[in-house]
Structure 1
Amino acid sequence: MHNYSQSIAASIDPSSQQTIPMTTYQFGSWRIAISRQLRTKEDLTSQYDAASRSWGRTARRYGLDAAYRRLLVASGAQAALGSIGSKARVLDCGIGSGSLSIALNSILPERLNYCGIDLSGEMLTMADAEMRQAVLVPELRQADILSIPYADASFDFVMAAHVLEHLPEPQHALREMVRVLKPGGMLFVCLTRRSHFGAFIQMRWRTWAITERQGVSWLEACQLNDISFQPIHLRSCAGQASTAFWARRPGGLEHETETTAATTHQEVGS
């Protein structure tokens, strides 16, 4: 059994952005906006440590594994990673119990190199057990998505499920994810969306509820290409409570091929 008790250094202190918008009312010329204070990093860690004990039941109730598989297939993850082979490296940010990594592994022909980070030591212990049961041997670290402990351009595929909406500055985390993503690599994120069930999640966990337009604008701000999204269909009463987004970091083999072709065309033309 691994011990994930190392301390987590604070990466930012956005003191002016410690609230999230909940709802807005308009009465004539009056506009009343209600916001709610975000959970601190320590509070969120404690809450997820406690939630880890029942997280497996929660995942099964809403059919998270099957939902993640459908969206990963739709994103083209098989082709993106299949072309690299067993040397491909995957980073799962806010890995939780490992559901997203296990779902990705289930649609691929061979096992890849999986790494995962999470604030919650209890979740990491569960992820280690669940992933090893799925015949995966992950590298797990207790760390903050706002300060990912890996070098630039380290991973071929970087993903996160229902993590960014907990943060005061989701784009800061996205930039960190893009930083460790190789040129040409794929980013995949699942975000709670505006819906009846999304409002329940927002009240329960004090998260953002994110529209598709917001999600796309965040990815565009990170200068990502080939942006797509689809609602995530969950079981029980959740319905379409989340949206999956995916995109690519510019560059890589495809970019080099296009550059070479353009150069050759110019040489021929001259």
Structure 2
Amino acid sequence: MLTRFTRFDQPRPAAQPGALQAIYDRAATGWQDGISKLGFLAAYAELMRATAPPTPAPSVLDVGTGTGAFAQAWSAAHGAPATLTLTDISPAMLETASARLPNAITIIAPLGPELNTLPPQDVVLCAHVIEHIDDPKAAFGMLFDRVASGGMLVLALSRPHWCTALVRWRWGNAAYPPGHAHTMLAEAGFTDITLHPFTSGPPSRVSHGYIARRP
């Protein structure tokens, strides 16, 4: 089996920030159409419908927003948030996201210490970012710090599957079994951690959704 030869929980050596930004800048134009055809927009909508907002009009931060698909799914399910902040390393991705979510604040920043300047938010969204980080435990800790007390994290994370190996070949991402992901979330301080398997198409094979709360 492929998993005998591949450490899915370890990303390939990370590209330098400038190179990674360039990769996503080039991908920005067709990104939304591509993930839509693969079923990720439907999967994200499914995950957001399973969430219960911590407040009627929460503040929302989408870390590594890409073209804004995760944040759009939140707004479609729960209405416009009180404030919406989008971060990404790619200016081109953020420009595309901003066109779809014109009231959002956009910030060019990786998932790293730069986020510490942002106040904690009621809801933090993060789709397929952790698997590109060299130290996922530290990344979960940074996400925890950005969630306000009583708030929630909504996460999409790659899981091991032979299809994930194909994605890994292109993007270098890791993949985490649900038990490992649950452990890292709990160690970061999250509680009420709920696994949400996607139900159809490629997302059901390569990803899981998670909902977790900060006490």
- In the superposition, the TM-score normalised over structure 1's length comes to 0.72
Once the two structures are superposed, the pairs formed by residues 193-232 of structure 1 within 5 Å of their partners are 193-232=159-198
What's the C-alpha RMSD, in Å, of the aligned pairs?
2.1
Counterpart for residue 38 of structure 2: 62
Distance 1:249 1:50 in 2: 36
1:218 is displaced (CA, Å) by 0.7
Counterpart for residue 112 of structure 1: 82
Instruction: Structure 2: state its 5+ residue gaps.
Output: none
Matched letter for residue 213 of structure 1: G
1:186 is displaced (CA, Å) by 0.3
| Aligned 8 A contact 1:151 1:180 in 2 | no
Counterparts in 2 of 1:151 and 1:37: CA distance versus 1, 3 Å: closer
- In the superposition, the TM-score normalised over structure 2's length comes to 0.89
Counterpart for residue 48 of structure 2: 72
Distance 2:147 2:11 in 1: 33
Task: Choose from 112, 123, 129 the match for 2:93.
Answer: 123
Task: Choose from 123, 128, 131 the match for 1:165.
Answer: 131
Once the two structures are superposed, the pairs formed by residues 11-160 of structure 1 within 5 Å of their partners are 24-25=4-5, 36-74=12-50, 76-77=51-52, 80-81=53-54, 84-86=55-57, 88-132=58-102, 137-151=103-117, 154-160=120-126
Counterpart for residue 241 of structure 1: 206
Counterpart for residue 188 of structure 1: 154
Q: Deviations over 1:45-98 (max 9, x none)?
A: 111111102102212211222211111222x23xx24xx233x21000001000
1:149 is displaced (CA, Å) by 3.2
Matched letter for residue 145 of structure 2: R
Which has the higher Rg, Structure 1 or Structure 2? Answer: 1
Matched letter for residue 242 of structure 1: S
Distance 1:152 1:187 in 2: 16
1:110 is displaced (CA, Å) by 4.7
Q: Percent identity?
A: 27
Task: State the structure with bigger RCO (CA 8 A, min sep 6), 1 or 2.
Answer: 2
Distance 2:65 2:30 in 1: 16
1:163 is displaced (CA, Å) by 0.6
1:23 is displaced (CA, Å) by 5.3
When structure 1 is superposed on structure 2, of 171-180 and 102-111 the one drifting more is 102-111
Counterparts in 2 of 1:24 and 1:127: CA distance versus 1, 3 Å: same
| Aligned 8 A contact 1:153 1:179 in 2 | no
Instruction: Structure 1: state its 5+ residue gaps.
Output: 1-21, 26-33, 251-270
1:232 is displaced (CA, Å) by 2.2
| Aligned 8 A contact 1:23 1:35 in 2 | no
Distance 1:45 1:234 in 2: 30
Matched letter for residue 38 of structure 2: Y
Task: Choose from 133, 137, 141 the match for 1:175.
Answer: 141
Distance 2:154 2:131 in 1: 14
Matched letter for residue 99 of structure 1: A
Matched letter for residue 247 of structure 1: A
